[in-house]
Amino acid sequence: MLLSLSKLDYTNYEVIVVDNASATPSAGLKIDFPFITHITLPVNTGFAGGNNAALPYAKGEYVLFLNNDTEVSANLLNDLVQYMQQNPLCGMACPKIKYYQRPNTIQYAGTVGPNLLTSRSHNIGYLQNDDGTYNSSYVTDQPNGAAMMVPMHLIKSLGPMSELFFLYYEELDWAARFKKAGYQVHYVGTTHILHKESVSTGKNSPFKTYYLYRNRLLYIRRNYRLHHQLISGGFFVAVSTPVHCIKHGLKGEWKHTLAILRALGWNMLHRAMAEPSILSVSTKNNLIVC
């Protein structure tokens, strides 16, 4: 990721690397990449917490939140900055995301959803060949947290991502807050990143299962109107939970079944949904990459 960032054709930026209490110390990255600002956190604060930790150090007008398991195209910042400057209602801008192992296969070209019954969404262009069909830009329903640009002034006024989620759904919860304030999520198809999906959490881990199920219901509770909460929450509890518990049980994946039940139990025990506070950060005419 850092090597690809060093080849950007946009010059007015800084890179802030947050080590979210990883098992392998990363301070040595400054030897090979002296242009980075390096932060080490004492405990793992999750996706939102790790990204939020960089904000007080950021000096720019825009923040690009970028996963560490990605590689960027050289024109990424130039295209995203120009797009956001031309579209003042754009609160979040995401590039095309393709798979690192299959660089001509699309993972994300925008999103449709979530469905008000299942609370599931699907990525536009998912697993399709990148033949130019999705090279345009447009308003879309949801961002993708692997790479999303946000104006700093909106982070200051609307607040950072909620750290209540820890992992998964936090950028969707954030987008819901932006939409309520009158801003939009946009897909920018003129640039892209390559993504090594699920490297951090594992492609089929109980850890991933737990947070996906816990946070889907948490997202429903925080962002849906009462009647939609009853519909989607009821479907989640009465249909989705037992069906997936049975599926994992038939495969002998009892840890996954337990993870789903724990996720349901967490939501029953944690009924309070505190909103995150607004960070106070300074801005200057630079661009920030976290």
Angle in degrees, 0-180, between the axes of helices 206-223 and 241-250, rounded to the nearest 10: 170
Of 153, 181, 200, which residue sits at a domain end? 200
**One-letter identity of residue 254:** W
Q: How far apart are CA 227 and CA 120, in angstroms?
A: 17
Encoded tokens for 237: 């509890």
**Same domain? 224 vs 264:** yes
Task: Give the domain-ending residue among 154, 180, 200.
Answer: 200
On whether residue 290 sits in a domain, the answer given is no
d(CA 117, CA 265): 21
Nearest of 27, 211, 46, 187 to residue 123 by alpha carbon = 187
- What number of other Cβ atoms are within 10 A of residue 110's Cβ? 23
CA 211 distance to own-chain centroid = 14
User: Token pair for residue 42?
Assistant: 């004492």
Query: Same domain, yes or no, for 87 and 210?
Result: no
**Same domain? 234 vs 134:** no
Domain holding 255, by residue range, is 206-269
Residue 238 forms part of a structural domain:
yes
Q: How much is the pLDDT for 286?
A: 41
d(CA 165, CA 195): 22
The predicted model scores a pTM of: 0.89
- Among residues 14, 10, 49, which one has the least CA distance to residue 288? 14
Do residues 20 and 114 share a domain? yes
Do 211 and 192 share a structural domain?
no
Question: In this structure, are 18 and 110 located in the same domain?
Answer: yes
183 and 265 part of one domain: no
* Residue 275 DSSP symbol: P
pLDDT confidence of residue 273: 55
Measured CA to CA, the distance from residue 210 to residue 266 in angstroms comes to 10
> Are both 26 and 85 inside the same structural domain?
yes
Minimal CA–CA distance to 148: which of 122, 180, 110? Answer: 110
Q: Is residue 83 part of a domain?
A: yes
User: Within this chain, do residues 109 and 250 fall inside the same structural domain, yes or no?
Assistant: no
Same-domain check for residues 185 and 229: no
Q: Domain of 9: which CATH number?
A: 3.90.550.10
Please state the domain count of the chain.
2
- The strand pairing partners of 77, in sequence order, are none
Q: Do 216 and 163 share a structural domain?
A: no
Claim to verify: residue 73 and residue 171 sit in the same structural domain? yes
Q: Is residue 289 part of a domain?
A: no
Domain boundary among 200, 223, 240: 200
**Nearest C-alpha neighbor of 119 from the set 192, 222, 30:** 222
Query: E-assigned strands of the chain?
Result: 13-19, 36-40, 62-66, 70-72, 90-99, 106-108, 111-112, 122-123, 137-140, 147-151, 184-195, 287-289
Residue from 162, 176, 97 nearest 134 by CA: 97
| Average confidence (pLDDT) per 10 residues, the chain, 290 residues | 94 94 88 94 95 96 96 97 97 97 96 89 96 98 97 97 94 96 98 82 81 94 91 93 94 95 92 46 41
